[in-house]
Structure 1
């Protein structure tokens, strides 16, 4: 088992927000509730250009792994193609932080693991760079450091 899986999911301690909320019920917090693969536990934005979801880890971490889980009732395009951005800047709601990876075509109901080496940041943003809903059923972030952000 990779070392990152021995670390705590620091996303559960963070706070989240998103660019908009679909039907006022698919709130950002549903993506860090610890529940995978249940469609009623997903966050979904409106269909808009550059829809985004942001996790504030409340302090800086060296992030080793991010796991994204897609909804299991279809609409895989609402996650596929989204950019994961990690950094310390709140410029443009954190969406100007460096792109670390683009989520490939992700099948419904599946999770994908991204490993990073030395990526440091307080904010983890997921940005859909097209006109589209952004749907996230779970976002897990494993890291170390918990350095105080100045």
Structure 2
């Protein structure tokens, strides 16, 4: 699992890679941006990003494994998967569910895009606070807020402008309610 920083002038895209990191001037064939080439002489800088979440749906179920709906599913490069959210991260129903991406370094975040699952369950992405910062206090959920989702239609993506907020951690958080948090893809864009 990689989170790749691709220079585009002064703008960089912090995007997940599905199979292997970008190489100089060549797309990976997987993940977002496949087939795109960099500007002449450009070079990708890559770092391994780590996603974690407050719990994982189905952890105790006999037919589920930890990785079935684990945190890494939200950065696997697959926005839309047919069927029952097979490529989405899903928490258990709990108070204050959260998901966090550690970019392993601090960036100026210009925008965040969230994609909802395509098989219904709209409430699982309603009221999600996007939090960005460098603190792990309260699992990163006390960092400054970039935005809050309203209802995200099934299979749709919604983008939030974060105006260059600085942070190493990007959190998705549903505060003060018993809920399930489901994220099928999270894309983070920013500058170094």
Q: Does the pair score TM above 0.5?
A: yes
1:21 alignment counterpart: 56
SS of residue in 2 equivalent to 1:22: coil
- Structure-2 separation of matches of 1:134 and 1:99: 17
> Residue 182 of structure 2: which of 135, 141, 147 is its match?
135
How far did residue 7 of structure 1 move? 3.3
Answer with 1 or 2: which has the greater Rg.
Answer: 2
User: Is the contact between residue 164 and residue 190 of structure 2 (CA under 8 Å) also seen in structure 1?
Assistant: no
- Structure-1 separation of matches of 2:161 and 2:130: 12
1:89 alignment counterpart: 135
RMSD, aligned α-carbons: 1.6
Residue by residue, what CA displacement relative to the aligned partner does 1:36-70 show, whole Å, maximum 9, x if unpaired? 01121000000001000000000000001100000
Greater RCO, 1 or 2 (C-alpha within 8 Å, sep 6+): 1
How far did residue 11 of structure 1 move? 5.0
> Residue 147 of structure 2: which of 101, 104, 115 is its match?
101
Aligned length: 142
User: Is the contact between residue 11 and residue 55 of structure 1 (CA under 8 Å) also seen in structure 2?
Assistant: no
TM-score by length of structure 1 reads 0.89
Higher mean alpha-carbon deviation, 7-16 vs 80-89, is at 7-16
Long gaps (5+) in structure 1: 146-150
Long gaps (5+) in structure 2: 1-7, 18-47, 60-67
> Residue 69 of structure 1: which of 115, 120, 123 is its match?
115
User: Is the contact between residue 71 and residue 99 of structure 2 (CA under 8 Å) also seen in structure 1?
Assistant: yes
Runs of 4+ off more than 6 Å: none
> Residue 118 of structure 1: which of 164, 168, 179 is its match?
164
2:105 alignment counterpart: 59
